[in-house]
Amino acid sequence: MFQWIRNIRARKRAAKLEREQDAERMRLWREEQLKKCDKGEHDWEYQYEVQGDGDPNVEGYIEITRSTCRICGESRVDIEPYDPEERNP
């Protein structure tokens, strides 16, 4: 008579177990990635920006490259001279 209640509880238990297993897999993956970051093997995400046109304090153009690790959040900023004629022949 109450088989449908047992089925609902069984589905909920199975869903909860699956969520716990997924969380554990993600935790282990994150720990592995952080170990790689500690060794210096970062997963960089780059953003590029060119500045200088119209700015009276800067002669010519400069390229600003921001690198951010997707895992640990470490960031670096590189500033280099930029010549538009060199990049687009």
Q: What is the pLDDT of residue 2?
A: 84
Q: What is the pLDDT of residue 28?
A: 96
Helix (H, G, I), strand (E, B) or coil at 62: strand
| Residue 6: Cβ-neighbour burial (10 angstroms; 0-12, 13-18, 19+) | exposed
Which pTM was predicted? Answer: 0.63
Q: Say how far apart CA 14 and CA 16 lie, in whole Å.
A: 5
Q: What is the pLDDT of residue 58?
A: 59
Q: What is the pLDDT of residue 88?
A: 53
Q: Name the more confident of 42 and 89.
A: 42
* 50-54, 57-61, 71-75, 80-84: least confidently modelled range: 57-61
